[in-house]
Structure 1
Amino acid sequence: MTHRHDPVDRAQELFQILSHPMRLRLLLALCTGEECVCDLAARFGRPQPYISQQLAELRQAGLVADRREGRRIFYRLADPRVCSVLAATGLCVEDTERAARCTCLRRCA
């Protein structure tokens, strides 16, 4: 992600990053706390390299942060306000197990 100085350009870049459904799912999952890449891959039934690639995009955008513990990499939200932004769009995590099995994004009732 290019770090532009114009706030409108920066917002456009962030919205472009957020336009990917899996990235939104990952952010929603991280709203409940830190998770390992391997656990996220298992939760969403996707290959670990694919999940890592999406998390790298989110990290480069400054939306998530990571830490290593041995061979495992854990991700967390870089700023908890991300959850508020997602909630403002009507997205929420009602039941993380059910949301993990679903291929659609859950909306608050």
Structure 2
Amino acid sequence: MSPLTDLPPAALEHVAHYFRTLSEPTRLRILNALGTGQLSVGEIAEQVDSSVANVSRHLAQMAQQGLVAREHQGSSVLYRIADPSVYELCDLVCGSIARRLDAAAQAREAFAVPVRRASAGRKK
């Protein structure tokens, strides 16, 4: 039985928002950057090659979904992963995608036409 089976529609909406938050490549890059530890918005922006304003907007949405947490340290605000299980989810999804891509590559190889090489000593 699927864990989604018994969830009411309102709970499914929350699940959908969580996955929508993870559907943005910049947010995945942010999660990857935060895998090394706490970082400031500027440090994250530098690592993900984005503007501070854009990263701040993404961090706000990620915080709303409980993916990241912010902590004040002096005059700095540092972000960290709030829910480490997000990495388990990403590993699961990445593994699934890798398996599908491998299977597709193997299927393409089965239909590949061997390249014939011309004989070196062949005369015209």
Taking structure 1 as the reference length, the TM-score comes to 0.72
Higher helix share: 2
Q: In structure 2, the residue corresponding to 1:46 is in which secondary structure?
A: coil
Shift of 1:5: 7.5
- Output the CA distance in 1 between the equivalents of 2:86 and 2:43: 21
Equivalences for residues 1-109 of structure 1 within 5 A: 6-90=10-94
Q: Write the letter of the residue equivalent to 1:59.
A: A
Q: Secondary structure at the match of 1:11?
A: helix
Counterpart residue type for residue 84 of structure 2: P
Decide whether the 8 Å contact of 1:31 with 1:80 is kept in 2: no
CA RMSD of aligned residues (A): 2.3
Instruction: Work out the percentage of aligned pairs sharing the same amino acid.
Output: 33
Measure the CA separation in 2 of the matches of 1:45 and 1:21: 12
For residues 9-66 of structure 1, the C-alpha deviation after alignment (integer angstroms, 9 at most, x for no partner) is: 1111111111111011111221222111111111122111111111011001111100
Structure 1: gaps spanning 5 or more residues: 92-106
Where do 4+ consecutive residues of structure 1 move more than 2 Å? 4-7
Quick one: which amino acid aligns to residue 23 of structure 1? R
CA–CA separation in structure 1 for the residues paired with 2:81 and 2:14: 19
- C-alpha separation in 2, matches of 1:53 and 1:25: 14
Runs (5+) with no aligned partner, structure 2: 1-7, 99-124
What count of residue pairs does the alignment treat as equivalent?
90
